[in-house]
Structures are given as structure tokens and as C-alpha cells.
Amino acid sequence: MKERIVVEAKDIITRFGEHTIHNGVSFKIQQGEIFGLLGGSGSGKTTLLREMIMLQKIQGGQMKVLGVDVSKASHVQAQKLMRQWGILFQFGALFTSLTVLENVMIAMREYTNLPDWIIQESARMKLSMVGLPTKVATMFPSELSGGMKKRAGLARALALDPKLLFLDEPTSGLDPKSARAFDELIATLRKTLGISVVMVTHDKDTIENVLDRFIILGNQKVRFEGSMETLRQTTDEELKNFLN
Amino acid sequence: MKQKPSLRLDIQEQTALVLLQGSWVKERIAALCKTDIPITPSQTTHSYTFDFSAVTDFDTHGIMLILHFAKTLEKQGQSVVFQGESPSMQQLLHICDTHYPLEDIEEKKGIFILDSLENVGRQSVEGYRTLASFFSFTGELTHACIAAVLKPLSIRWKATLYHIEQSGAGAIPIILLTSFLIGIVIAYQGATQLEKFGANIFIVEMVTISSVRELAPLLTAIVVAGRSASSYSAQIGVMKITDEVDAMRSMGFSPWDFLVLPRLFALVVSLPLLVFFADIVSVFGGMVIASTKLDVSFVEFIDRIKQTVALKHLVIGFIKAPIFGAIIATIGCFRGFQIDSSTESVGKYTTISVVNAIFWVIAVDALISVLLTEMGL
């Protein structure tokens, strides 16, 4: 299959009032890639992610996701786009009034005409895939720990078999073993379903083991774009220190 | 072009070949989900082979459905084998198979009467617990109050002033408007009755006493309860959800000093001041109607107030105001601390806090009214 571009950012400019976050940020994410957005605190990683999923407006440049320019997308286009991606927010962002199972089922109930039993079974399968035991299904988000909320959030993001998965710090707050299992799960999903993954992360193991390519943001620009191998060969001291 | 998913059954003596075709994706499989298995197994077959070679497209939902068919056959005592799957499909099949939900979710099914009895019990215990924790809250609040009064430097004056501005000064416009209208309403209704007896001048006592003694303080308290009890509950509740309250506690800052006392003092101070404005405006509303409907001029009206309306009515109104303020702030803060980690509870307790505050303001007002009248005041 021809290499396709799932996300294309061109000269993105973001400002909050007087404060400039991004000034000409450009990069491309290929289909099937696990792509990382890296950078120090306050470098605008999460902002960049939010711009891709239309939660934040850009002040300049162009952001194309799955071929659609997000700042010019019509309502219909935006709706269609939203069904093709799944998002895991940093703290899960589960709906507190629904049980965990209902949280995973809600998108399938709204957007497919499948009967309830298969929706329920798929939802339970996804919960099991992210490593949650059966008894969690009927619990409410307020009864879960932070790590479990995150897993449930991932199950919800995967509910519609998205083409594109956005993860905001997926392994933060997980114990090391769960974090590696999470990494493995994401790698397997990419392999089997051909999902492209965009993630904001600080986890050094995730960066080394899972990411195909990444960008490092700094000084309102992209400081580095490429893989771990190319980063190791760099002569830039500041970038070298980034991973230590 | 995506093909419709379908199965074709090919029976050869004891074995049957199930040929899966088309795209097994969530948008297209709905028609196949109607039954447990869309093929009727014959008596003689014991083994089924699922052939995936003609499947053009798939996702987890499609795989799920195929697995469901296979499991149904296995339950009927048949053996099932898969063949012809592509490597990526094999992987997904493996993952889905490992995580296929086998055990049923336990669903609680109760008997109606028992359930409702259980509910009554639960509600009673909850009511008792709420009462107990409210007493403990007011106890601690009193303790914190006394400690603060003995050491006035420890009071957070800046926060107190902020809440006076927000809850007191911010409420002035709406209180002026409602008091003015209430003054007009009393005077208007009174005017039509008094005119019949030619007792026009008694409009003065009627409007003034009812306003300054009862209606102005009560109305002010109700408006403030609606504005501030809800906002105090919501503010404190969200601070609890974001762990701000815990952070405060762990740093040794007492939530009493930082959150509750400033709000309590703010309302205790600002309610009498608001009542003062409400008194003036509601009497003024009465004066406007008295002069237009009953020919009682402003000067006559004010002269008559001086002659016949005792100061005690005004004083009683002012004494009630800080009590109402304390009730509103205490209930607002108490309900705020009851909010737990779910967003739903924010709505629930904010509503309860306003309803409680208004109810208790009216109840206490009634109690004071009866008590004072019996005492001859």
C-alpha cells in the first residue's frame, strides 16, 4: 500500500494572548506510524495534540488530519472525522455518570446500528484487551484508581476501531509493568489493525521501545524530527541531554 | 467497493466448510447479528472449518461476531477450525479470542418490595449520618469561630473582603429591584382594602412594619441563599475534586480558616447591610404607591413613620439578618464538603444546598416571628 500521510502540520502558530507557544511548527505523520510529541514542560505538546483533535484553534498555518483541514472542516466533515479517531485523555476523562462498560459502549450505541449484545460483548472484549478484569465493567469511574481509569479510557478510545489514536501521556501514573504492557498493547494494535498512533509522552522506555519517530518541541519550534537512532547521532548537546 | 459480509455453508458428509466472504466491519455486520448463528447445523456434521480466504476487510467487531458463531457451534458439541487467515488477521483473531468475554456479568435482580424496603433503610441511615456530620460540622465551625475571634489576626481578612464583595456587593442590584417590587406589591394590595374604610393613612404602618420587620430581611436572605449557597457549595466541591482541599490540609492550612470562616463572616457582615438597602427601597416602593393611589404624600408618610412605627421593628429585622447569613454560609459550605469525586454530585449537592438554605431561613424566620410576638415584642 502507498504510504499515506495521516497528520500534516504546516507552519503552525499558536498564541495565548501575548504568549506565543508555537511559531512555525511543521511535521508529517505517516500511516501506521507510532509518532511521539516530546518536549519540556510548557513546550506545547498537549496544545499541539489538542489542535489536531479540534479542541484548540490555531492562529496560523495549516493542520490536516486524515486529509481534512481541521480549521476549515464543515460540521459534517468534522463529525465524520471524529468517528475515525480515538482519544485517550491524560486522566481518562470517563463520564462519571456511566459505568465503565457503558463508557465504552456509548460511542458504538450512538454511531452503529449493531444490536446491544454484540456491542456489549465488544466492549467487554476491549476492556479485557486493556487489561481490566470483568468485575470492573459494572463499576463507576469514581470507584477506580488512576491507572484503571486510564485503561478504561483507552478501551473507550478503541471502541470504534479508530484509524488514528491520540494518546496524552498514556503511561504516566501507571506502574512500570503495566506501562510496558500498555506499550506492547499499542504496538500490537498498530500491527493488527493498522492504527496510526500519535502520543504525547515523557516515558523514556516508551520513547525507546515503541515510538517509530518523534519530534522534540522547544523554543516555539520543532527542535528535532526523526527516530531514536538519528537522535543518538546528533551533535547538539541540548538534544543529547534531553533523554538523560 | 466494500462487499457485504456473508457465510456460505458447504456440507461434505461429516465436515462442513463455512466460507466467509466480504468485509466484516461494524458498519456492515448488523444484518448477521440477529441470530446466534445464521447457519443451521445438520445432524451428521461434527466438525466445521471456517475459511477466511475470501474476507476482504475486517475489524474487531467482525472478528467478534465470527468468534461468537464459532463459540456457539462449540457449545453445541461441534469442533471448529480456522483456515486461510492472513497473518494480521491471525494476530487479531488471537487477541480477540484471548479476551473474548466468557463469564457473564452478574446482574442484580431484586424483588420490588425488598428493594424499596432496602431503599427506605438506606435513606434513613443516610439521613441520620448526614445529621450527625452536620452537627459535627457546626461543632467544629463554632470551635474555629471562637479560635478566630480570640485571635483576630488569624482571620483571613483579604478572603473575607473578597467574599463580601462577591456575595454582598454583587447582590445589591437584584436585592434593590426585588425589594422595590415587594414594597409596591404590599402597598398596592393594601391600598385597595384600606381605601374601602377610608383608612388611607394606615398604609404607612402596613408597608413599613411588614417590610422592615419581615419581608426585607427574608427576601434578602432568600436572594442571597440562591446566589451564594450554591456558589459556595460548588466552589468547595470542585476544590475537593481537584484535591485542593487535601493539598491545603497536608500543608497545614486549615480549610476552616481558609474556606469556611471567610465565607461565614462575609455573609454575617453583609446581610445586615443588604437588609438596610432593602428596607429603604421597599418602603420607598410603598411610598410611591401611597402617593399615587391614596394621596398620602412623601412628607406625610415619613412623618407618620416617625410617630407610629416603633424602632424595635427595624432592630428585629437587623438582628435576624446575621442569623440568616450564618445559616446560608454554614449550609453552603457543609454541602460543598459533602461533594465527592463525581461530577454528578456537584449538581446534586449544589441543588440541595440552595433548597436547604432557603428552607431553614424561612423556618428560622417563622420561629423568631412566633417567639417574639409571644414575648410581646
Tens of pLDDT, residue by residue over B301-327, are 999 999 999 999 999 999 999 999 999
Residue in chain A closest to B57 (alpha carbons) equals A193
pLDDT at residue number B278: 96
Residue in chain B closest to A120 (alpha carbons) equals B101
pLDDT along chain A (244 residues), means of 10: 75 86 87 88 86 87 86 86 87 86 88 84 87 86 85 88 88 82 84 86 84 86 83 76 68
Size of interface A-B (CB pairs under 8 A): 83
Angstrom distances, CA of residue B190 to CA of A244, B196, B205, B307: 83, 10, 11, 20
Evaluate if residue B291 carries a pLDDT over 80: yes
- Please report residues of B whose CB lies closer than 8 A to that of A190: none
What DSSP letter does each residue of B299-330 carry, written as one string? Answer: HHHHHHHHHHS-HHHHHHHHHHHHHHHHHHHH
Q: Average per-residue pLDDT in chain B?
A: 89
C-alpha cell at B145: 469561630
pLDDT, tens only, B257-266: 999 999 999 9
CB–CB of B237/B339 below 8 Å?
Answer: yes
d(CA B234, CA B237) in angstroms, rounded, equals: 5
d(CA A128, CA A106) in angstroms, rounded, equals: 17
C-alpha cell at B292: 399615587
CB–CB of B60/B67 below 8 Å?
Answer: no
From the number of C-beta atoms within 10 Å of its C-beta (0-12, 13-18, 19+), residue B143 rates as exposed
* Inter-chain CB proximity B68 and A115 less than 8 Å: no
Look at the block and give the residue holding cell 446534586. B348
Nearest to B92 among A96, A115, A192 (CB): A192
- Please report residues of B whose CB lies closer than 8 A to that of A141: 342
CB–CB of B283/B183 below 8 Å?
Answer: yes
pLDDT at residue number B189: 92
* Inter-chain CB proximity B340 and A108 less than 8 Å: no
Is the Cβ of A191 closer than 8 Å to some Cβ of chain B? yes
CB–CB of A159/A86 below 8 Å?
Answer: yes
Q: Quickly count: other Cβ atoms within 10 Å of residue B72's Cβ.
A: 15
Evaluate if residue B106 carries a pLDDT over 80: no
| One-letter-per-residue 3-state SS of chain A | CCCCEEEEEEEEEEEECCEEEEEEEEEEEECCCEEEEEECCCCCHHHHHHHHCCCCCCCEEEEEECCEECCCCCHHHHHHHHCCEEEECCCCCCCCCCCHHHHHHHHHHHHCCCCHHHHHHHHHHHHHHCCCCHHHHHCCHHHCCHHHHHHHHHHHHHCCCCCEEEEECCCCCCCHHHHHHHHHHHHHHHHHHCCEEEEECCCHHHHHHCCCEEEEEECCEEEEEECHHHHHCCCCHHHHHHCC
Q: What is the CA radius of gyration of chain B?
A: 36
Report the residue of A125, A163, A165 to disrupt the B interface, i.e. the one with the largest count of B CBs within 10 Å: A125
Residue in chain A closest to B27 (alpha carbons) equals A112
Average pLDDT in the B338-354 region? 90
Report the residue of A122, A140, A151 to disrupt the B interface, i.e. the one with the largest count of B CBs within 10 Å: A122
- Please report residues of B whose CB lies closer than 8 A to that of A134: 101, 103, 105
ipTM associated with this complex: 0.77
Largest CA distance in chain A: 58
Angstrom distances, CA of residue A243 to CA of A184, A225, B307: 21, 14, 86
Of B27 and B151, which is predicted with more confidence? Answer: B151
Report the residue of A83, A90, A102, A124 to disrupt the B interface, i.e. the one with the largest count of B CBs within 10 Å: A124
Is the Cβ of A145 closer than 8 Å to some Cβ of chain B? no
* Inter-chain CB proximity A108 and B26 less than 8 Å: yes
Average pLDDT in the B60-66 region? 84
Nearest to A192 among B29, B65, B95 (CB): B95
- Please report residues of B whose CB lies closer than 8 A to that of A124: 101, 105
Taking the CA of residue B106 and the nearest CA in chain A, the distance in Å comes to 9
Nearest to A101 by CA among A117, A124, A135: A124
Is the Cβ of A101 closer than 8 Å to some Cβ of chain B? yes
pLDDT at residue number B335: 95
Residue in chain B closest to A163 (alpha carbons) equals B59
d(CA B370, CA A9) in angstroms, rounded, equals: 73
Evaluate if residue B11 carries a pLDDT over 80: no
d(CA B334, CA B137) in angstroms, rounded, equals: 7
C-alpha cell at A17: 494572548
* Inter-chain CB proximity A142 and B341 less than 8 Å: yes
Of B248 and B31, which is predicted with more confidence? Answer: B248
| Per-residue pLDDT band at B329 (split at 50, 70, 90) | very high
Residue in chain B closest to A194 (alpha carbons) equals B88
| Per-residue pLDDT band at B235 (split at 50, 70, 90) | very high
pLDDT at residue number B264: 96
Chain CA centroid to CA B234, Å = 8
* Inter-chain CB proximity B30 and A112 less than 8 Å: yes
- In the DSSP assignment, the letter for residue B200 is G
| Per-residue pLDDT band at B10 (split at 50, 70, 90) | confident
Angstrom distances, CA of residue B3 to CA of A9, B55, B58, B89, B185: 35, 9, 11, 18, 74
Is the Cβ of A163 closer than 8 Å to some Cβ of chain B? no
* B146-170 b/e (C-beta count within 10 Å ≥ 16 → b): eebeeeeeebbeebbeebbebbbeb
- Please report residues of B whose CB lies closer than 8 A to that of A113: 30
Report the residue of B93, B102, B342 to disrupt the A interface, i.e. the one with the largest count of A CBs within 10 Å: B342
- Best-predicted range by mean pLDDT (A129-133, B40-44, B337-341): B337-341
d(CA B197, CA B376) in angstroms, rounded, equals: 28
Nearest to B64 among A112, A121, A160 (CB): A121
d(CA B98, CA B62) in angstroms, rounded, equals: 16
Average pLDDT in the B7-29 region? 79
* B270-287 b/e (C-beta count within 10 Å ≥ 16 → b): bbbbbbbbbbbbbbbbbb
Look at the block and give the residue holding cell 428596607. B279
Bridge partner list, A84: none
Nearest to A128 among B26, B91, B101 (CB): B101
* Inter-chain CB proximity A125 and B343 less than 8 Å: no
Bridge partner list, A236: none
d(CA B360, CA A174) in angstroms, rounded, equals: 47
CB–CB of B5/B20 below 8 Å?
Answer: yes
- Cα end-to-end distance, chain B, whole Å: 90
d(CA B137, CA B156) in angstroms, rounded, equals: 20
pLDDT at residue number B129: 95
Look at the block and give the residue holding cell 478504561. A152
With the C-alpha atoms ordered B322, B323, B324, B330, is the resulting torsion angle positive or negative?
A: positive
